[in-house]
Amino acid sequence: MADRLAMYIDTSKCMACRGCQVACKQWNDLPAYQTEQTGTYENPPALDHYTFTRIRFAEYDDPDRFQWLFLKEGCMHCGQAACVDVCPTAALKYGPNGIITFERDLCNGCGYCSQFCPFGVPHLSVPSPLRGTGSLTGLEGQIELAQYGALDGLTGDVKSSKCTFCQDRTVNGLKPACVKTCPAGALDWGNRDEMVAKAKARVDVLKTQRNFPQAQVYGDTQLGGLGRIYVLKAPPEAYGLQADPKYPAMSTLWQKILQPVGQVAFGATIVGAIAAFFVARRNVHMEEVE
């Protein structure tokens, strides 16, 4: 897709100021959690329903030089996106310019996107077991929690969520909120081919002028080409990234066989959907999709 857009993320310029993390919450009107200090600068502890992007911190004892690596996490907007392929209600779609868009109103909270995503990005609106207290900070957060705390995954009121590259901004020609706020020049936004070219040129500089022999581009080829193009100073594993993420085999099966059944079921009877839900829940294990 020649007009595909992408986010450029240069980890060699990122200084983990986390302006992107906060700007994302602000633009998308997301509540904060009452988090805990557990021995790291990372918080919230993982991407979740109310955290579309965050900085992951990793200490890397490179034999040449010690490095403290910062990785801006979020939806990768895969060229071949398992979440879209398994979504029974088309809440997740290949949107214009290659952005994986999300329409909250269409989401039925089935959670397949969350389970099939090779990066574990989409999250449902139930308190995550990862968090200590699971409580949200601020009035708005308390209201959200009061609603969702009483629900379960079958009522249809639970929703998924994820980074949409600020689809409400980008369809209007604006940059995503995180890109706009980055003071270090680590983030950029534009035509994907240009972002890939920019990343390759930067990697070349890092290798030849800045003593990062392991520098590399990430995202240019993986999963049909990601919508995030990373400049890495070290191997992906050092950042906690999978070097070679796999499109989950089960999702193809799902798309061809179970999903159409599921859609018919939704049209006909809720019971069918519930059945499909439980089938998927029981049979799909994360080991298979990784």
State how far the Cα of 149 lies from the Cα of 125, in Å rounded to an integer.
9
Tell me how far, at minimum, the Cβ of 157 lies from another protein, in Å.
24
- Our CB check for another protein shows the closer of 38 and 172 to be 38
Tell me how far, at minimum, the Cβ of 131 lies from another protein, in Å.
11
Backbone angles phi, psi at 177, to 5 degrees: -60, -40
Tokens of 240: 């906690």
- Our CB check for another protein shows the closer of 12 and 101 to be 12
State how far the Cα of 209 lies from the Cα of 78, in Å rounded to an integer.
31
The residues of the shown chain that bind another protein, judged by CB under 8 A, are 12-19, 21-22, 25-26, 31-41, 43-44, 59, 61, 66-70, 137-138, 141, 183-185, 209-211
Tell me how far, at minimum, the Cβ of 193 lies from another protein, in Å.
21
> What length is written for the chain?
290
Query: Are 44 and 225 spatial neighbours (Cβ–Cβ below 8 Å)?
Result: no
* Residue in 232, 244, 235, 218 with CA at minimum distance from that of residue 62: 235
Bridge partners of 18? none
Tell me how far, at minimum, the Cβ of 33 lies from another protein, in Å.
5
State how far the Cα of 29 lies from the Cα of 119, in Å rounded to an integer.
24
Tell me how far, at minimum, the Cβ of 4 lies from another protein, in Å.
26
* Residue in 96, 143, 101, 146 with CA at minimum distance from that of residue 122: 101
State how far the Cα of 160 lies from the Cα of 166, in Å rounded to an integer.
16
State how far the Cα of 186 lies from the Cα of 67, in Å rounded to an integer.
17
Tell me how far, at minimum, the Cβ of 69 lies from another protein, in Å.
8
- Our CB check for another protein shows the closer of 34 and 221 to be 34
State how far the Cα of 233 lies from the Cα of 95, in Å rounded to an integer.
31
Tell me how far, at minimum, the Cβ of 199 lies from another protein, in Å.
14
- Our CB check for another protein shows the closer of 211 and 252 to be 211
State how far the Cα of 171 lies from the Cα of 149, in Å rounded to an integer.
33
Tell me how far, at minimum, the Cβ of 72 lies from another protein, in Å.
14
- Our CB check for another protein shows the closer of 74 and 118 to be 74
- Our CB check for another protein shows the closer of 78 and 206 to be 206
Tokens of 102: 């999300």
- Our CB check for another protein shows the closer of 33 and 112 to be 33
Q: Which residues, 6+ apart, have CB-to-CB distance to 225 below 8 Å?
A: 4, 78, 79, 192, 219
- Our CB check for another protein shows the closer of 183 and 240 to be 183
For the chain, the maximum distance between any two Cα atoms, rounded to a whole number of angstroms, is 63
